Every structure is written in structure tokens, then in C-alpha cells.
Amino acid sequence: MSTEEMSSMERVLTTLDHREPDIVPYFLLLTTQGAKEFDVSIEKYFSDPEMVASAQISMQKKYGHDCYYSFYYASLELESWGGNTVFYPDASPNCGLPLIHDINDISSLEAPDVYESPGLQKVLKTTSILKEHAGTDIPIIGVVMSPFALPSMQMGMDHYFDLIYEDPDIFEELMDINKQFCIQWANAQLEAGATAICYFDPISSSTIIPPELYRKTGFKVAKSTLHGIKGPTATHMASGRCLPIIKDIIKTGTSIVCTSVLEDLAEVKKECYGKISVLGNLNGIKMRHWSLEDTESKVKEAIDKAASGGGYILSDNHGEIPYTVPSSVINEISRSVRKWGYYRSN
């Protein structure tokens, strides 16, 4: 029996190896919450890469979870393509108007150079500070939007659906351009110190497109993109369902899948057992009003359903805990993991 507590890195690597660590690892995917650490606006917070790194470090110390999360917000990628971001006082920033207005513009579209984008440089700076601090003890999770998801911001969802269904050749052109960007961006984060890349791929989710369409589109894009990323990846459906395509997701080469609260965690774990690990699936929206008892019960339920045998990391189901979730609830998640998450084998 082991008496020494594992480091976060050991805990995560053990579970990814489908073995039971000392305690269930948990990722609190905190983004905008960091602004509260410095009592500044969300816009001001994300303007300062050192502040973001400091907040990640202090939140990890406070809550004890098993990762740093270098993700800022999704539309930061779009900024490097010439798009803009809208900031709000109490929510994640959102992308402004789409930048592709006519599908004929796609043939002349060029992927931006990650190293020439001031916004992306901030993330790399944050990542390198975190790496300096974490050493090999705490995993740093970087994020990319999948090439298949990015067009929802580049052109708007309705026009993107029209493109997928009605102009497959131009769709392929856009995927080629986006893949080039995504791979460069993922590898830049890995070089800066990220341990793994979370591949946000919500359009592939069976909530958004049917499985047969996924196999012809998002699946192929994921397989070739993940092949170009020089590090481990986690596929995140950002609250969308994954069960109908879980066997395909496994074939993309990813190491982890994040499931939705709309799916039964035990069923997802069963499908993934021994093949890839499962992340999820606490309801971030409902979390805003959870009592401490609710929180403990939800954490315990998730652990009961998915933790046995390893291959599981507890997390929210969307890839970020909303700004309006109180710190008392976040703290209770941590306390509940410590209460219910110890493996008997240890």
C-alpha cells in the first residue's frame, strides 16, 4: 500500500495509464474566475499574461486541483485571423461578427502565423511562466479550437452548416487552412511548456451533427490534425454528446474524451474502458446554485460512476467553470473529491 501522496502529474499519468492513482484526479477548468483573484475586469485580466499565470497558480494552491489551464477564451484564436472579441463583466468573452462573409473568400484565406499574433503570444507567455513554476509536478493544459469547430466563429453556424452540406469542396479548402493553423498553434503551446492539448471539437458532437456526417468530416479532420500535434491530446465536446461516435473518437488518436452531462458517465466510461480516459461531467450551469450538499452528491455520483480502474478525471462538462459559480462551490468540489475520491487500493 502506498502511503505517500502522488504529485498531480503522477496522479494524472497513472489514471491515463488506466490504473488507479492515490485519489481521483480533478481538473477545475478555471478561466474568467481568475479575474476575481485580482479583483479586476475580465478584459483587464486577459490583457496581462503574468496576471493570468499568477491566478492559475493561486487558484491551484487554493483548490488543490491537478492542472494549470492556460486557456484564455475561444475568440482569441479568431483575433489572430482579424476577428474581434466582445468582453462582458460576468461571462466569458465572445467573438464579434464573423470574418468570412462570402464562401468565395475562403480560397484567398491565409492562416495567420501564430508567432506574429500578439494575442496568442500572451497565452504562450502564460504557459512558459506556468511551466517554470510547475516543473514536472503539475500538468499544464493548453487549448486549441479544432479546425472543424473554428468556422462556427469564422463564418457563423448557419453559414457553416450550409457550407458543410452544400459546398464540400470549399469546406475541404477551409479545413486545410484551419488544420495548418491549429497544428502550429498546438505545437507552439507544447513548446512553451504545455503538457497536453485540449482539442475543442464541439461541432463534431452528436448534438450538433449526425454521426454519419461526423465520419465524413470532423473525424477525418481530427485524425489528421491530432497526428500533427506533437503531444498528448484530449478531445472536448464542450457540453455536447459523444457516445454515438465514441468508437470513432477513439480512432482519432486522442487520449481523453470529455462527455456531456446529457450522457450517462458510467456508459461513457464503459465504452472507453482501457482505451481512452474520460473527463467530466459536472453541470457548470447548474453549479451556480448548488448547495454544498448538492455539490458533494454530484461529485460522489461522478466518482461512483467513472473512477473505478482509473482512466477518469473529474471535471465540469463544458471546459470552463462559469464566472458566476461561487468559490464556495468550487472549494466544495475539491473537498468532496478528497472525501470520496481515495482509491481503496491505496
Residues that bind other proteins (CB under 8 A): 86, 88, 90-92, 94-97, 156-158, 161, 164-165, 206-210, 213, 239, 241, 261-262, 283-286, 288-289, 322, 324
Quote the least distance from Cβ 285 to other proteins, whole Å: 4
Q: Which residues contact 42 (CB under 8 A, 6 or more apart)?
A: 32, 35, 87, 88, 89, 90, 91, 92, 93, 323
Nearest by Cα to 107 from 176, 156, 157? 176
- 144 phi and psi, to 5 degrees? -130, 150
Quote the least distance from Cβ 326 to other proteins, whole Å: 14
If the CB atoms of residues 35 and 140 are measured against other proteins, the closer one turns out to be: 35
Quote the least distance from Cβ 259 to other proteins, whole Å: 13
If the CB atoms of residues 27 and 323 are measured against other proteins, the closer one turns out to be: 323
Quote the least distance from Cβ 200 to other proteins, whole Å: 15
Quote the least distance from Cβ 289 to other proteins, whole Å: 8
Quote the least distance from Cβ 151 to other proteins, whole Å: 13
Cα-atom radius of gyration of the chain, to the nearest Å?
A: 19
By the 8 A CB rule, do 277 and 18 touch?
yes
Q: Which residues contact 286 (CB under 8 A, 6 or more apart)?
A: none
**Ordered alpha helix ranges (H), the chain:** 8-16, 34-38, 42-45, 49-63, 75-80, 118-134, 151-154, 157-166, 168-192, 211-216, 218-228, 246-251, 265-272, 292-306, 327-340
If the CB atoms of residues 224 and 324 are measured against other proteins, the closer one turns out to be: 324
Q: CA–CA separation, 42 vs 9, rounded Å? A: 29
If the CB atoms of residues 47 and 283 are measured against other proteins, the closer one turns out to be: 283
